[in-house]
Structure 1
Amino acid sequence: MFSGAQICLYPMTDDFVGVILGAIDALEPYRPSFRIETDDVSTLIVGPPEQLFPAMRDLFLAAANHGIHCVLAATVSRGCPGEPDDPICTPIGHVVHDKPLDDRIAAAIAQVVDAPKTGQIVAAQFSLYPLGGGHHMDEIYGCIEFLKKSGVFDRSKNFCTKLRGDAGAVFATLSEAFLRFGALNGHVAIDLKVSANSPSAV
């Protein structure tokens, strides 16, 4: 399965170059299983879907741990029919989509509970798009039910859902939303913003 993310990082500091390059270095442990390409707009990571959000978490923490206001913007996708096959991408092995929605919600909550604590509080807002026909609204409503039980649900907003909490739990919640909702072999996309150390946090 072709899965990946286009990521933009915005550190609010005069030393933005050093912060961005240092954050990209945090992706080094993922290089054996990822294709990583950086240009003057964004960084592309392509690889196993279950590793995408841990990689984004580590990149974001490397920047946010400086104590500066930092924002990550990403478009995340799996199963896009318009992308070429890539041997680095593999099917989602540990997620079973043929289980009932209630079972998937319970399994997703368990994964969030076990997420590592980072000590960095973040806010995130995202929209989930399980594309194609069928019962996509059932998947969206199931995901919303999971989010409300995740422990990091902040509130519903126009066009998106807001999360707040430790970065470990927030990125685990985003990963579970991405992996467990929408058709196993269907196209699923997420539009994501994550913020840390904001002067206007509410």
Structure 2
Amino acid sequence: MFSGAQVSLYPMTDGFVDVILDAVRAMDPFAEKLRIETDDVSTLMVGPHEALFDAMHALFDSAAATGHHAVLHATVSRGCPGEPDDPICAGPLDAGTFGPLEERQQQAMTEVRQTPASGLRADGQFSLYVPGATIHMDEVYGCIDFLKQAGVFAKSKNFCTKLSGDSSAVFEALHQAFIRFGSPAGHVALDITISANSPSLKK
């Protein structure tokens, strides 16, 4: 099943070029698993979902570690009917069916709780889209309940959910939202905005 992301990084500093280039290099360990294409607007990553979120996390943490305010924006998609299936994307989502919602929530929470902390804070918001699913709101609400129990839920907002916590927990929670909710054979998309070192937090 095709899975990929379009990712943009916005460092708020005069030295933004070095921050961006260093962050892009932080994704080098994932080059064998992902097809990575960077242009003047965004970076496309195509490949297995685990590598997608690990690479985005590495990109974000590299920028966050500078201490400068930086924002990552990503659109992540799996099962898009407008994209070809690609062998590089093959993974466990390509077969089988999901279990009961409560079971999937528990599996997702276990993964988040087992993720080692990075020591870097991430604050952001995201929206989950499950187009075509007849029970899409059940999946969305089930995902929000999981986020509350996982400890990264900050608050509900119009059209999105605010997250806050250690960057490792936040990115793993987003990863779990991507793979545990919505049909394993259907189209699922996330719209993600994650911020580091915002001056608003100091007020």
Map 1:168-187; keep pairs closer than 5 Å.
Answer: 168-187=168-187
Partner of 2:32: 32
- Count of aligned residue pairs for this structure pair: 202
Superposition deviation, residue 95 in structure 1: 9.3
Map 1:107-122; keep pairs closer than 5 Å.
Answer: 107-122=107-122
- What SS is found at the alignment partner of 1:109? helix
Partner of 1:20: 20
- What SS is found at the alignment partner of 1:110? helix
1:141 aligned to 2:141?
Answer: yes
1:100 aligned to 2:104?
Answer: no
With 12-21 and 88-97 compared, the bigger mean Cα shift is at 88-97
Partner of 1:164: 164
Partner of 1:51: 51
Superposition deviation, residue 51 in structure 1: 2.1
Give runs of ≥4 in structure 1 deviating > 2 Å. 91-98
Paired with 2:111 and 2:71, the residues of 1 have a C-alpha distance of: 25
Task: Look up the equivalent residue of 2:62 and give its one-letter code.
Answer: A
Partner of 1:126: 126
Query: In structure 2, do the counterparts of structure 1 residues 143 and 76 end up closer, same or farther at CA, with 3 Å as the change threshold?
Result: same
Query: In structure 2, do the counterparts of structure 1 residues 104 and 21 end up closer, same or farther at CA, with 3 Å as the change threshold?
Result: same
Paired with 2:92 and 2:113, the residues of 1 have a C-alpha distance of: 21
Superposition deviation, residue 93 in structure 1: 5.1
Task: Look up the equivalent residue of 1:190 and give its one-letter code.
Answer: L
Paired with 1:176 and 1:31, the residues of 2 have a C-alpha distance of: 22
Could you list the per-position Cα deviations for residues 36-92 of structure 1 after superposition, in whole angstroms to 9, with x for gaps in the alignment?
000000000000012211110001111110000000001000000101222211133
Could you list the per-position Cα deviations for residues 109-142 of structure 1 after superposition, in whole angstroms to 9, with x for gaps in the alignment?
1111011110101101000001113211111111
CA contact (8 A) 1:48 1:92 kept: no
Identity %: 59
Query: In structure 2, do the counterparts of structure 1 residues 198 and 96 end up closer, same or farther at CA, with 3 Å as the change threshold?
Result: farther
Runs of 5+ consecutive residues of structure 2 not aligned to the other structure: none
1:2 aligned to 2:2?
Answer: yes
CA contact (8 A) 2:93 2:185 kept: no
Could you list the per-position Cα deviations for residues 120-175 of structure 1 after superposition, in whole angstroms to 9, with x for gaps in the alignment?
01101000001113211111111111011111110001100001010010001000
What root-mean-square deviation, in Å, do the aligned CA atoms of Structure 1 and Structure 2 show? 1.5
Runs of 5+ consecutive residues of structure 1 not aligned to the other structure: none
TM-score, with structure 1 as normaliser? 0.96
Task: Look up the equivalent residue of 1:180 and give its one-letter code.
Answer: R
Paired with 1:57 and 1:152, the residues of 2 have a C-alpha distance of: 15
Query: In structure 2, do the counterparts of structure 1 residues 97 and 149 end up closer, same or farther at CA, with 3 Å as the change threshold?
Result: farther
TM-score, with structure 2 as normaliser? 0.95
Task: Look up the equivalent residue of 2:174 and give its one-letter code.
Answer: L
Superposition deviation, residue 25 in structure 1: 0.4
CA contact (8 A) 1:49 1:92 kept: no
Superposition deviation, residue 96 in structure 1: 6.5
Could you list the per-position Cα deviations for residues 7-32 of structure 1 after superposition, in whole angstroms to 9, with x for gaps in the alignment?
00000111111110110001111111
